[in-house]
Amino acid sequence: MLSVRSNHRAAPEQRAQHPDTARPGALAGRPDSVVPVAAPGVRPSPARRLLDVTVAIAVLALVWPFFLALAVAARQSTGGSAIYRQRRVGQGGVPFTLFKFRSMRVGATGPEVTAPGDGRVTRLGGLLRKTSIDELPQLVNVLRGDMTLVGPRPETVALATRYPAELKYIFRYRPGMTGPSQVLARDEQVLGQVRDVENFYLTELVPHRVAMDLGYLRNPTITRTIQWLADTFLYLIRVARPAPFRPG
């Protein structure tokens, strides 16, 4: 298990930020933080933001016919709206609405963390989740500035409030569509083997994930960002396969 230290040093892009842009909650009309953080929120550098917008526009322009077809299929298979909306914790602990293709049956209830074999997930939903195609609508979140391409996992509000206090600093950063913990953390099968999925996630997996993300966030250069995007692509086409997570 990787250890995590909360007294980390800020990367160059984390310093000397305008007070209104450093803290999303400082903007008029924006909600307050739902997860208290010890310091202002950290926005991506201008270069990373330019990359975010460029990639999001390019991908959406290329895949919109596929996007529409999936929307129809998701609606038919789940019995609800094609796009699932959920409050997630954003930069500075301020919540935002995350978009995904719906993969679960409408009205199904269960834990916040989804483990393999979860009966709430439809057959199409399982395929979308396995290939991460269900996350394509998050490109809209990237365009809106809610998310960035590479960053920490966008956590649900319910789980974020239960994070260990020493790890909540991760919510200073703008969440990403992909990132070290989302590529390297092969924990799906482990979740399917434990009784209390949420407790295991918070006590075992979260410290591991935060430690991996911090390795990137300490120095999130444009070069490293592009490298993580390339690693994500290799992961999605099954060229790169990270090692399974082992507790302890």
**DSSP labels, 214-236:** HHHHTS--HHHHHHHHHHHHHHH
State how far the Cα of 217 lies from the Cα of 134, in Å rounded to an integer: 25
Q: What is the DSSP string of 44-58?
A: PPHHHHHHHHHHHHH
| 215: number of Cβ within 10 Å | 13
Q: What is the pLDDT of residue 182?
A: 84
> What φ, ψ does residue 167 adopt, rounded to 5°?
-110, -5
Express each pLDDT in 52-86 by its tens digit.
999 999 999 999 999 899 899 888 888 888 898 99
CA distances (Å), origin 234, targets 12, 55, 131, 227: 29, 17, 12, 11
pLDDT at residue number 54: 97
Instruction: Compute the Cα dihedral for 222, 223, 224, 230 and give only its sign.
Output: positive
Distance of alpha carbon 46 from alpha carbon 191, whole angstroms = 37
CA distance 183 to 234: 10
The closest alpha carbon to 53, from 115, 143, 133, 119, belongs to 143
Bridge partners, residue 87, by sequence:
97
Per-position pLDDT tens, the chain of length 248: 333 333 333 343 443 343 333 444 443 445 567 777 767 789 999 999 999 999 999 999 999 999 899 899 888 888 888 898 999 999 999 999 999 998 888 777 767 776 666 778 888 888 888 888 899 999 999 999 999 999 999 999 999 999 999 999 999 999 999 999 888 776 555 655 667 778 888 988 899 899 999 999 999 999 999 999 999 988 887 755 555 545 55
CA 136 vs CA 42, 44, 68, 157, 211: distances in Å: 24, 20, 11, 21, 26
